[in-house]
Amino acid sequence: MLASFPRLAAALLLSLPLTATAAPLSGRLAAPAGAAPALTVYAWSLTRAHLYSVATSAGQATYTIDVPPGRYWLFAAPAEPGAPQVYGAHTEFVPCSRSTREPHDCSSHGLRAIASGAGPLGGIDLTDWHLDDATTRELDHLLGRADGEVIDEAELAAPKFSEYPAAAFSGPHAATLLAGEPRSEHESQLAAALTLPPNFAGRVVLQRIGCGPGCEGIALVDAVTGRVSFPPALAELPGGTACSIRGPLVFRRDSRLLTVTGRDRNELVTRYYVWDADSGMLRPVAALASALGERCGQTH
């Protein structure tokens, strides 16, 4: 039976490659105390009113996110379901505190807009975790979080990426695709995936493939064996991405867990799958549903 919950908390998204016009923004990460936890780093485009995101792992000290040229707010939030709704951001405080020996002289914690061009831009540190209430509410709004939102037991019990860890594969990739697997018109795309760094489960490349007009599917290419699989759960990704700022597909390099979110009649359903290295397939482990919120109200 599907359990109800108001909204899944932020999960880590590793975006598949953007267009060739994208340029990297980068900087340091920090936490209010100790090492940084696993985070989702967000770039809100003030130019396009669009949210980009990328995953980081626990203890990671820096980030890089690829975005098209424009003006952005950069911020981060803890990634695991049930984590507190707090934010670290690039604010006016960050460059001020770097330029003075007296950080208490830096009183502004307002978000600082960054202009991205055609080339890389660094030094956009997400180290200010002392945002005022108005700024926090603004970021809550961008993420679709309701004021005072309470996380219920179903969300806390949802499978977590950290519960299905995957070690990073650092050896040589398979030279060719495994013989006997479906090739068809996607053979060149799948072969090219073997030249890319794994972006899922430590050793897998998720490769986008077309499935008709307005349709997109995903193939899994195992960098170790060259085996290709076409999981039915990823054959036709759900539409209506306005229902979720993170889009229908959420996954991480350091985890075997993957989620697919889409509309199912009058509910928004997130289905959880775990990749099995022996079979090369995805195993369903859970499904959680919520009522369609405002973000989905006009989506058909």
- Spatial separation of the C-alpha atoms in residues 183 and 165, rounded to whole Å: 30
> Which two structure tokens, joined as six digits, stand for 300?
């058909």
**Is residue 288 over pLDDT 90?**
no
Residue type at 103 in one-letter notation: P
Say how many C-beta atoms besides its own lie within 10 A of residue 300's C-beta: 6
Residue 62 has a pLDDT of 94
* Reported pTM: 0.53
Report pLDDT digits (tens) over 220-244.
Answer: 989 898 888 889 889 877 654 445 5
Residue 257 has a pLDDT of 92
**pLDDT mean over 269-294:** 83
Least confident residue range of 8-12, 83-87, 233-237, 290-294:
8-12
Residue 291 has a pLDDT of 59
- Spatial separation of the C-alpha atoms in residues 59 and 160, rounded to whole Å: 17
Mean pLDDT of the chain: 77
Categorize the per-residue pLDDT at 128 as very low, low, confident or very high, splitting at 50, 70 and 90: very high
Query: 91-105, 176-190, 199-213: which has the highest mean pLDDT?
Result: 199-213
All domains in the chain, ordered by first residue: 11-151 (2.60.40.1120), 163-296 (no CATH)
Report pLDDT digits (tens) over 139-167.
Answer: 888 887 765 554 555 565 678 877 888 88
Residue 247 has a pLDDT of 63
Least confident residue range of 29-33, 46-50, 193-197, 229-233:
29-33
pLDDT cut 70: percent of the chain above it = 73
Residue type at 66 in one-letter notation: D
Kindly give the pairing relationship between strand 249-251 and strand 62-67: unpaired
Report pLDDT digits (tens) over 202-217.
Answer: 999 998 876 666 667 8
**pLDDT mean over 248-256:** 85
Greater model confidence, 172 or 100:
172
Categorize the per-residue pLDDT at 126 as very low, low, confident or very high, splitting at 50, 70 and 90: very high
